[in-house]
A and B are shown apart, each in its own frame.
Chain A
Amino acid sequence: AQKVTQAQTEISVVEKEDVTLDCVYETRDTTYYLFWYKQPPSGELVFLIRRNSFDEQNEISGRYSWNFQKSTSSFNFTITASQVVDSAVYFCALSASYYKLSFGAGTTVTVRA
């Protein structure tokens, strides 16, 4: 069984603050993929990143960065210098089979001007 836990339900920050979203996962599979998706108020799902279980390198993409730690089964996401446009629901997801994603409950990020 696979499980993804996003313990933070809501986070509210002021613009330019950094915000870190936690994601902890459980799986018995040795090969799996981890994802982050953004869901803006318009409702669509926007793919942010995919990471496979053999690649523990951290990644940075502009103001976004991801910290994958297999030892703690965590895949945390940081937004640096947040902006109002970052306001959205963010989902962490896990997949060990190519036909299914297991999603966390999501974290709602509100960035105030």
Chain B
Amino acid sequence: IAGITQAPTSQILAAGRRMTLRCTQDMRHNAMYWYRQDLGLGLRLIHYSNTAGTTGKGEVPDGYSVSRANTDDFPLTLASAVPSQTSVYFCASSEKTGGLETQYFGPGTRLLVL
């Protein structure tokens, strides 16, 4: 089935722990994105990748890192989780980064940091 998968679906994490959220797409899209969604706020871009081998910082990159070793995978790592990172995390992809390009979203990971 074509699309984007994310893992885990949900996670409870102790503050200070390291965590990697996984994202895989099988649409051969060049661009991938990580967003966080918090109540009352719009989706906020954490990091993005326009193509395999490149990454960039979004609006709220602090405390997060990403890598893009190949086209399909775009993991997001929290090096030392803090309670303010409690959120729903969505991975998305688009064929390119131009104006017409639509972003397609994965099902999300719900993360609670205690």
Partners in one complex: no
